[in-house]
Amino acid sequence: MKASDFTYHRPSSAQELAGLLASLENAKVLAGGQSLMPMMNLRLLAPEHLIDINKIPGLAGIRRDGDVIEIGAMTRQVDVLESEIIAKDLPVLKAALEHVGHVQTRSRGTFGGSCCHLDPAAEQPALCRLLDAEFRVNGARGIRVVQAADWFQGMLESALAEDEFLEAIRIKPWTGSYGYGFEEYARRHGDFAIAGAAAMLAVDETQSITRAALMIFGVEASPARLANAEAALVGTKLPDLDVAIVTSAARGLEAMSDVHVSADYRSHLGSVMIKRALLKAKQHLTGSST
Amino acid sequence: MSRTVSIQLTINGRATSLDVDTRVNLADTLRHVAGLTGTHVGCEHGVCGACTVIVDNRPVRSCLMLAVQAEGTNIETIEGLANNGELSTLQKAFSEHHALQCGFCTPGMLMTIESLLRETPDPTEEDVRIALSGNLCRCTGYQGIVEATLATAKTLRQEKALGAVAP
Ligand SMILES: Cc1cc2nc3c(=O)[nH]c(=O)nc-3n(C[C@@H](O)[C@H](O)[C@H](O)COP(=O)(O)OP(=O)(O)OC[C@H]3O[C@@H](n4cnc5c(N)ncnc54)[C@H](O)[C@@H]3O)c2cc1C
Ligand code: FES
Ligand code: FES
């Protein structure tokens, strides 16, 4: 099908965009269009106004700002995947990006678009949850910063108000001795995952775990952190890594079901994914010695 | 309300001006306004890849891009692959390796592979299969397509090594 009729707007500055969002009713921001255009073509959505943010200077790009990496909302997924800054400082994000859609959707799809759309199985917002990203939001009422823990409001729902837009995502990379793992299971390469997970572990010279981050996506409506299991791992020794505590925490999530997959299967798959991600993180830290 | 605007762009190496409806996608505009019906439209929601064209050196779904967004871009479509009526190495390999039957998916396959081989002249079979994951073929199957791609990559590398002019 074709999209129903709409008025097309192409602001050339963030101010102009903020003004349009504040004044127009039933308007949608158009970023990469890889989720919005399908929904419009299927007529699941019929906005009266489409506000194309592709020509606003300064919304795209990856840069270092002190100890933080800032990813502009309009940065294309291909550019995140190919970025040297990301490969060096956020390798877990690069590993995840390889699973986002296909080469053709990554050419246009944006990092910020995925973080606003919030499909439960989307890798990019999930990695923001893992890495405790900050979301910088702008609009006619001014700039505010939303922490990852508050960004996810449920299925396809972010903390953005209707008159706001996402400007950038800010992530502080881990430093020192740490390992990471990313795993997902999809029926075909490039499909949305049924479930996926990522794990990060940092250790000191004595192999004591000093920091842990465990995240499962695609299982609940929003990516979940296993905070209790993270706390339980901190202070333990890497060689004695307690995998069971993590998998049992994973089984405690409230898994969704759909026509393809039962809740129980999805929950089980989530626990398998986090186990593999965790062991990968460990292996990454110990090299090939285990 | 949608409106008509005039955009300037390059299509298959030729500077072109098109009057486009702001509501219409690039695939339909290429087909109905530019008359380039080689680009096929399958699903119109981004899953089949039949509409793949190359925009500024990157493969994109032309059903998910508005024509008005193509202002100032350099677009390559299936019509640009052959040189003065002579099929490109890749097109010939498709024929030789039985990489098509009905041909519906073929333009999208060719544009995806064209872009893959520019980026990755020596792909593994897995590279090819991953690149093709965004293009569905419902009748031929992928084996011949993968073989044609690997054969083309080899031919192009040999031609390059010999210093021959690549088509
Ligand atoms: C075949 C196919 C396979 C895919 N597979 C995957 C996959 O495996 N994993 C995955 O994560 N995604 C996948 N996707 C979706 C991904 O490609 C999209 O890029 C992403 O979900 C949305 O990003 P976008 O830039 O395309 O945003 P758009 O489609 O332009 O917008 C999406 C939504 O976010 C809003 N929005 C966008 N940017 C902003 C902003 N800066 N401020 C405020 N609101 C904004 C829009 O209004 C809209 O509601 C797939 C898509 C297709 C077509
Ligand atoms: S028609 Fe564009 S992807 Fe199917
Ligand atoms: S050749 Fe018929 S769909 Fe691919």
pLDDT in tens, chain A (290 residues): 899 999 999 999 999 999 999 999 999 999 999 999 999 999 999 999 999 999 999 999 999 999 999 999 999 999 999 999 999 999 999 999 999 999 999 999 999 999 999 999 999 999 999 999 999 999 999 999 999 999 999 999 999 999 999 999 999 999 999 999 999 999 988 889 999 999 999 999 999 999 999 999 999 999 999 999 999 999 999 999 999 999 999 999 999 999 989 999 999 999 999 999 999 999 999 985 44
Does the beta-carbon distance from A108 to B61 stay under 8 Å? yes
- Given the candidates 3.20.20.140, 3.20.20.70, 3.40.605.10, 3.30.390.50, the CATH classification of the domain at A179-286 is 3.30.390.50
The chain A residue lying nearest B1, using CA atoms, is A7
Q: Which residues of A touch B52 (CB under 8 A)?
A: 104
Residue numbers of chain B with a pLDDT score lower than 50: none
Does the beta-carbon distance from A103 to B116 stay under 8 Å? yes
| Domain A62-171 top-level CATH class | alpha beta
- CATH for the stretch B4-80: 3.10.20.30
Does the beta-carbon distance from B24 to A2 stay under 8 Å? yes
Cα of A34 from ligand 1 centre, angstroms: 5
Q: Does domain B89-165 have CATH number 3.40.630.20?
A: no
Q: List, as own/partner pairs, every contact residues A249-258 make where C-beta atoms lie below 8 angstroms and the sequence separation is at least 24, other chains included.
A: A249/A214, A250/A197, A250/A216, A250/A219, A250/A226, A250/A274, A250/A275, A253/A216, A253/A219, A253/A220, A253/A224, A254/A220, A255/A219, A255/A220, A256/A120, A256/A219, A256/A220, A256/A221
Phi, psi for A183 (deg, rounded to 5):
-140, 140
**Closest to B2 (Cβ–Cβ): which among A8, A101, A188?**
A8
The chain A residue lying nearest B51, using CA atoms, is A104
pTM of this structure? 0.96
Say what the ipTM of the complex is: 0.94
**Closest to B134 (Cβ–Cβ): which among A1, A2, A105?**
A105
Q: Where are the domains of chain B?
A: 4-80, 89-165
Q: What are the b/e assignments for B39-73, b being 16+ CB within 10 Å? A: bbbbbbbbbbbbbbbbbeebbbbbbbbbbbbbbeb
| Ligand 2 and B41: CB distance under 6 A | yes
- CATH for the stretch A7-51: 3.30.43.10
Q: Which residues of A touch B65 (CB under 8 A)?
A: 33, 37, 108
Q: How many CB pairs under 8 A join A and B?
A: 86
Please give the structure tokens belonging to residue A241: 């890594």
**Closest to A42 (Cβ–Cβ): which among B22, B45, B58?**
B45
Instruction: Check residue A86 and give its pLDDT.
Output: 98
